[in-house]
Amino acid sequence: MSLRNIAIIAHVDHGKTTLVDQLFRQSGTFRDNQRVEERAMDSNDLEKERGITILAKPTSVEWTPEGGEPVRINIVDTPGHADFGGEVERILSMVDGVVLLVDSSEGAMPQTKFVTGKALALGLKPIVVVNKVDRPDERIQEVLDEVFDLFVSLDATDEQLDFPVLYASGRNGYANDDATLRSGTLIPLFQKIVDHVPAPAVEVEGVPFTFLVTLLDRDNFLGRILTGRVTSGSVKVNQAIHALDMDGKVIETGRASKIMAFHGLDRVPVDEAKAGDIISLAGLAVATVANTICDISVTEPIQAQPIDPPTLSMRFAVNDSPMAGREGTKVTSRMIRDRLAREAESNVAVKVTESADKDSFEVAGRGELQLGVLIETMRREGFELSISRPRVLFGEDENGGKTEPYETVMIDVDEEFSGTVVEKMNIRKAEMTDMRPSGGGKTRITFSAPSRGLIGYHGEFLSDTRGTGIMNRLFEKYGPHKGKIEGRKNGVLISNGSGEANAYALGPLEERGILMVGVGEALYEGMIIGENAKPDDLEVNPMKSKALTNFRASGKDDAVRLTPPWKLTLEQAIAYIDDDELVEVTPKTIRLRKRYLDPNERKRMSRSKAA
C-alpha cells in the first residue's frame, strides 16, 4: 500500500477539523450508521467548549482510487490560533505536503501567513483549498489573488507558486476544480493529494532505524508515548533502542515495548513500522520532544526544526490568600513545579523558570490564550494558583538598546467603528500599515503594534465595536522599545475586611463603580470587589449591615435593587489586573486581589517604588 503524509493548515475557524470529519466519512473510516461527534478530532474538553483546535493530532484514512491500488493518507490536524503555533512548527517535519485551507470570504489571515511561511521554508508544495464557497459574501478570485501575493512575499519557488486549487465546502462535503459547482464529493481532494503530494522519500532496507519525536503523550498503562515519523529503517516490537539529545548524547536505552499506527481516530498496535510511517512508540521513560529515537548503532541525531521563542510570561505562585486550600486538592509549590515541568516537556513553546526564593515560577509562552488554556487546564485538575499580570519578554539589539516584541494586528470592523479602533490603537503606540475595504461593509485595518500595548485590549475592542469586530494577531519581530504605554484608566474597589458581602452595603457602592461580587459572597481584606469610576483605588466596606434599633421606621424600608455583578472569565481577569494585583484561581472560583493584602504594606511598597 502506498503512503502519503499531509498536514492541514489554516487560520483559526477556517474549517480544518470539519473538513477532516468529511474525509473520515467519505473514505469509509466511519460506518454509515455510526454515531460520531461533530469535529471528532477536537477530543479535548477545552477544544470542544471553545470550538478551536489546541493540540496537533495525527490520524489516518485509506482511500482507493477508481481502478487503482489503495492509498493510506496520514493526516495531521493542526491548531489555527497563533498562540499554539509551536504545535504547527514541529509537526511540519513529519509530512511531505500541506493542504492550505482559506476562507472564501476572509481570505489570507495572519496565521495563514505564519504556517504557510513555515511550510514553504521546508520546501513543501501546498494544495490550496478555498473553503466555504457557499458563503453569500464569498470573493473567491480576490482570495486566490491574496494567496498568490502571500506566496510571493514569502519567497516561494516557481514550483510552489504553481499550486493546484480546489473549491470546497467542508461542512457539505464537496470539493471541485470548478468554482461555480455547489455539489459533489471530496474525491477530487483525495485524488489531488495522491497526485500532488510525493510518497515519503526514505530508505527502508539496509539502514538503521531513526525516528524524531514531535509529540509527547502519556498513558496510565503504557507510560510515556512518543509520536513522530520514522525517518529511516524499520522498528519491531521489543527491538533495542536508545534516545539521543540534540547534541548526540545518549539519554536512555530501552526497548520498543509497543508500536502503534493511526487508523481513523484510534491508535492500533502493530508489530513493525517502516520509514515514512507516522507512529506512536512506548518503552522509554525519559525521552522527550526533539529527541532522536534510534537503533543502538546510531550516534548522530536528526536535527529538529528551531522553534520561535516565547514573547510573554506570567508568574505562577502558590495561592496564599485567606481562602487558600478550601476548593483545590493540589496546592503546594512542589505539585505546581512538577505540573509545569511536564507541560514544558511536552509543549516546546512554553518555558518555565523557578524564582530564587523557590515559591513562584515564571512561565513564558506565545500569548495570553496559550497561557490561559494552561491555567484553565490546571484549574480543572484541582490546582490552586495565584497568577500575575502578563508581561512581555524584552530583548537587546546589537548596540545594547532595549527591544520588545511587535505583533501584526489585522482588524475587520464595520466602517462606523474604524475611527474609534484607529484612535485606541494609536494610544497603544501601534502604527497603521494598511487599510482597505474587505467586503460586506467592513474595513480591514492592519497595524504593527508592540505586544505590551495589546495586553487587555481585546475586551475593550469588542465593546468599542459592539461585538462585531474581529481581531487577529501574529508575532512579527523584535523592534525598538516604544516607551511608556498607558494602562488601565480606572482604579478598583478593595474590601477593607473579611466576611460576607451584604446587600445593604453593596447598594451605595454601585454609585462608586461596577461591582464584581454578589450578595453572600465570601470576601477577605485586600480582595478586589469592583472597578472604581475614578483613577484611584478605594477601600470600602461591603459587609456593613443596617443597625438594628427599637424605633419603628415611618413607612416601609425600600428594598435594595442590585445590578447583576460583572463576572470576569479567566482570560478577562488576567488581562484586567494591574502590576500590583493577582488573579486567585481555584477549581470553582476566580477572584481578583491585591498582591499585598494589608493596606499598610501596600502603602509602604508604593512609596518604595516611587522613591
Q: Is 414 annotated as a binding residue?
A: no
- What is the chain's percent helix, strand, coil content, to nearest 5? 25, 35, 40
Question: What does the alpha-carbon distance between residue 564 and residue 519 come to, in Å, rounded to a whole number?
Answer: 10
What per-residue string of b and e applies to 469-491 under the rule 16 or more CB within 10 Å gives b?
bbbbbbbbebeebbeeeeebebb
Burial status of residue 44 (CB atoms within 10 A of its CB: 0-12, 13-18, 19 or more): middle
Q: What angle do CA 290, 60, 217 make, to 5 degrees?
A: 35
Q: Is 195 annotated as a binding residue?
A: no
Note whether 587 and 325 are within 8 A (CB).
no
Q: Is 196 annotated as a binding residue?
A: no
Q: Is 263 annotated as a binding residue?
A: no
Q: Is 133 annotated as a binding residue?
A: yes
Q: Is 132 annotated as a binding residue?
A: yes
Rounded to 5 degrees, what are φ and ψ at 101?
A: -95, 130
Question: What does the alpha-carbon distance between residue 469 and residue 467 come to, in Å, rounded to a whole number?
Answer: 6
Strands 125-131 and 165-169 come out as: parallel
Q: Is 546 annotated as a binding residue?
A: no
Q: Is 14 annotated as a binding residue?
A: yes
Query: Residue written as cell 509562552?
Result: 365
Strand ranges in 296-416 using DSSP code E only, listed in sequence order: 312-318, 351-354, 360-365, 385-388, 391-392, 395-396, 402-414
Q: Is 421 annotated as a binding residue?
A: no
Q: Is 254 annotated as a binding residue?
A: no
Cβ neighbours of 63 (radius 10 Å): 22
Note whether 200 and 210 are within 8 A (CB).
no
Question: What does the alpha-carbon distance between residue 256 and residue 233 come to, in Å, rounded to a whole number?
Answer: 14
Binding site listing for GTP: 13-18, 131-134
Binding site listing: 13-18, 131-134
